[in-house]
Amino acid sequence: MTLRRDQHAVLRLALSLLALAGLAALFELFARQAPYTPLALAALPGPIQQLREAALIHGLIALVVPLSMPSAWPGGAPRWFVPLLVAGHILLFAVLLYAAATGRMAVQVWDPRPVAIVLTALRVLGHAVVAGCYLSWGRRLWTSSAS
């Protein structure tokens, strides 16, 4: 089966996210070690776990998308689809990486620290962009299979 250029781009995104999930799982393992042991990483495991789970779930979803892209868009995906999907994932995972590195969860709607609210807003924006792309893909897939 020959893959189109847009399928390759989404497949690269999926593999990158799955690799990020693997790295985050490794860091989570070290963050969950007992304090003062040689393998202990002085970091909160919760934000790292959040990063790992999100990368794994988004990576698995992005792994399925290229398989059905020819059914959704026989002539190729729209020009905006792949760049917007990648940009949304970059924004989302940049926030999650920063949150994991600084020990924040990036879910605080009200917080005296201004950076926490900005992180939450950027995270919601990243999720909205990614969800919008996937909804567009799903809607197109639904309408093409109905006809």
3, burial (CB in 10 Å: exposed 0-12, middle 13-18, buried 19+):
middle
Confidence of residue 27 (pLDDT cuts 50, 70, 90): very high
Q: Where are the domains of the chain?
A: 5-146
Place of tokens 């089966």: 1
Average pLDDT, the chain: 92
85-144 pLDDT, tens digit each: 999 999 999 999 999 999 888 887 787 877 888 999 999 999 999 999 999 999 999 987
Angle value at C-alpha 87, between 116 and 16, nearest 5 degrees: 95
Measured in whole angstroms, the distance separating CA 41 from the mean position of its chain's CA atoms is: 24
Q: What is the average per-residue pLDDT within 6-11?
A: 96
**Distance, CA of 68 to CA of 128 (rounded, Å):** 22
**Distance, CA of 34 to CA of 37 (rounded, Å):** 6
Confidence of residue 147 (pLDDT cuts 50, 70, 90): low
Of the chain, the percentage scoring pLDDT greater than 70 comes to 97
Confidence of residue 146 (pLDDT cuts 50, 70, 90): low
Place of tokens 């940009």: 87
